[in-house]
Amino acid sequence: MQLIVITSPKPVEQEQQICASLFELGLETLHLRKPEASIKELQEWLQTLPKEYHRHIMLHSYHQLAEAFEVKGLHFREADRAAAAVTPKYSLAFSTSFHSLADVQQPQPYVDYGFLSPIFQSISKKDYPAAFTKEKLQEVVPQAKLPLIALGGITAEKLPLVQEMRFKGAAVLGAVWEQPNPLEAFAKLSKQ
């Protein structure tokens, strides 16, 4: 099962060094999500990360930075999903977000995978409860029109349940960045 890490929306001390270590531990995909960052700040963030890791980065904003950095791909928020149809794809991966089971049953011809959330009570957003029942997810996830990644409240203990619900992977934020040692937290998650 694929494990994806999403960056903390807030700055983290030595974040790029931690991310480089995550890649050394086997992380394949990092979603760079800094909603309050300027394009200059995001550019500096990428410049600080060793160049060999750029190919693992999915950009959540300032998609034009893909022209300057050889990133893995682009993420389109639910509200911006239509832009995927008119964005030159080249060899980039495209991802998007879903918060409705009806939406994952609609064809998504321009998108390679999607996050479905919240699956469990969020770790990073305290007032963000699970939105779906296990039974409904077990019914709908296998029928989705694209590979789905579980997001929201994912912990090492819940990964077997994510697999049981037939998600293609899981994305984590709080389970890594809100832990005393993000590298140990990721190592524990990746052993599941």
What is the per-residue pLDDT for 190? 94
Q: Which helix (H) or strand (E) holds 190?
A: helix 182-190
What is the per-residue pLDDT for 17? 97
Q: Is the pLDDT of residue 125 over 80?
A: no
Beta strand residue intervals within the chain, DSSP E: 2-6, 29-32, 57-59, 73-76, 93-98, 113-116, 148-151, 169-172
179 forms bridges with which residues in the sheet?
Answer: none
The encoded tokens of residue 76 equal: 């389109």
What CATH number belongs to 2-190? 3.20.20.70
Mean pLDDT over residues 138-149, rounded?
A: 95
What is the per-residue pLDDT for 174? 93
Entry pTM: 0.96
Mean pLDDT over residues 135-145, rounded?
A: 94
Triad 92, 141, 162: Cα angle to 5°: 90
Mean pLDDT over residues 147-163, rounded?
A: 96
Mean pLDDT over residues 122-127, rounded?
A: 76
Give domain limits for the chain.
Answer: 2-190
Q: Is the pLDDT of residue 126 over 80?
A: no
